[in-house]
Amino acid sequence: MKTTQHEAHTHDHTTDFNQLLKSNGLKVTKPRLRVLEVISDKKTAITQPELERVFGAEIDRVTLYRILASFEDKGILHKIFDLNGTATYAICSTKCSADHHHDQHVHFICSVCNSVYCLDEISVPKINIPANFSLHAIAINAVGICEVCQAQQD
């Protein structure tokens, strides 16, 4: 199974992330840049507790929570819940904005390691909703065994 593991997000972080923050009306700060750097370098979505372990004392819990919330609000990150109901975060498409998330793709959740992968190349089908309804998001999760866990089982 081919997964696009944020290949489009591996680039010169400093310039791109400075511009991303500025274009979203956010002040460029070291903690914000570090959060973007760590999340964009991950091949899977990451939880807040994992980020807290990565940063240690570098970024406190409250600041990290505020950064994640503001990034999600601005369309910089999207949130996916794993099999335990824990929120995980991944970098959004460049098409996302504060008004509308365009990250309409399938997420693959490994039933062994609980990792969440964005399958960017698999689009969510258009959903026709009834009149007078307002659609905000569509989430389709595929559950199975990732390539890492599959290899360990073979």
pLDDT in tens, 31-72: 999 999 999 999 999 999 999 999 999 999 999 999 999 999
> What is the helix (H) or strand (E) element at residue 114, kind and residue range?
none
Q: Give the distance, in angstroms, between the CA of residue 135 and the centroid of all CA atoms in the same chain.
A: 20
Give the C-alpha distances (Å, rounded to integers) separating 93 from 96, 112, 124, 130, 150: 6, 27, 14, 27, 28
Give 84-114 pLDDT, tens digit per residue: 999 999 987 655 555 555 557 889 999 999 9
Kindly give, in sequence order, each residue whose CB lies less than 8 Å from that of residue 53, ignoring residues fewer than 6 positions away. Answer: none
